[in-house]
Amino acid sequence: MAKTNTIFEGVATALITPMTENGVNYEQFGRLIDWQIDEGIDALVIAGTTGEGSTLTDEEHKECITFAVERVNHRIPVIAGTGSNHTEYGKQLTKFASDAGADACLIVTSYYNKATQKGLVKLFSEYASVSDVPIIAYNVPSRTGLNIEPSTYAELAKIDKVAAIKEANSNISKIVDTFAKVGDQMDIYSGNDDQIVPFLSMGGKGVISVLSNVIPKETKEICTKFWAGDIKGAAALQCKYNELVSALFCEVNPIPVKEALTLMGFCDPIIRSPLYRMEEDNLKRLTKAMQDLNII
């Protein structure tokens, strides 16, 4: 049966978390949230990978979710990053986000202490059991050392609350196989900004994006053009922003995107260990890519 609990279509920004030396900068956070909505973004992901969720304290993580829900105030969906390699903690955070008013939860696969494919089905079943809102299964093998296989997605599709996939596996053959197996049962979002148009061409619902932190309106335009039938125009935009995408991932995310937003005046360049400030040559590359597009 086809899923009916679509969370969003288009672009969800995987939002950074602006920091001070002692915590979260909520003034900057609120400004970013409002700007993203004003620019027409379709949803926001809070405290995910780009939001440094893994180095937020438990109190900060919960405060960021609550703050975002209240600041957004139902203008667009809020998706809370609540996955963890500590399943019981992840479940507690998912229950908290669900109760706090988040519209969905983004659950990354277990990392470091990796699950088997059968274990993944059990894992997402556990998360689903504590959530009152839809869940997006997040597959990012480059970070977790674990890939959700297409056949496993077919099992996840049977879990009512698991409504969607954020697919950051760059293996296009696996991606096509996933669409073939569950494309009519689960919403599938690209987790890679360099693959937005390929995902849309397979029937994807959009992208959960790092790029849209910097150019939300322009990132959304890729989807808008595609769905309006201007495939060539969408592809041209994908190519136009390719160097910026590459520069945003020339070091571990979210190092470059925080530097980009610092250059734009949205935040301070504070990032938490084990991540550190961008190397000079890479910062020059990012700056040039932004200047070439008249972003700064």
Active site residues per annotation: 138, 166
Other Cβ atoms closer than 10 A to 275: 15
Torsion of CA 283, 285, 290, 294, to 10 degrees: 120
What 3 state SS string does the chain have? Answer: CCCCCCCCCEEEEECCCCECCCCECHHHHHHHHHHHHHCCCCEEEECCCCCCHHHCCHHHHHHHHHHHHHHHCCCCCEEEECCCCCHHHHHHHHHHHHHHCCCEEEEECCCCCCCCHHHHHHHHHHHHHHCCCCEEEEECHHHHCCCCCHHHHHHHCCCCCEEEEEECCCCHHHHHHHHHHHCCCCEEEECCHHHHHHHHHCCCCEEEECHHHCCHHHHHHHHHHHHCCCHHHHHHHHHHCHHHHHHHCCCCCCHHHHHHHHHCCCCCCCCCCCCCCCCHHHHHHHHHHHHHCCCC
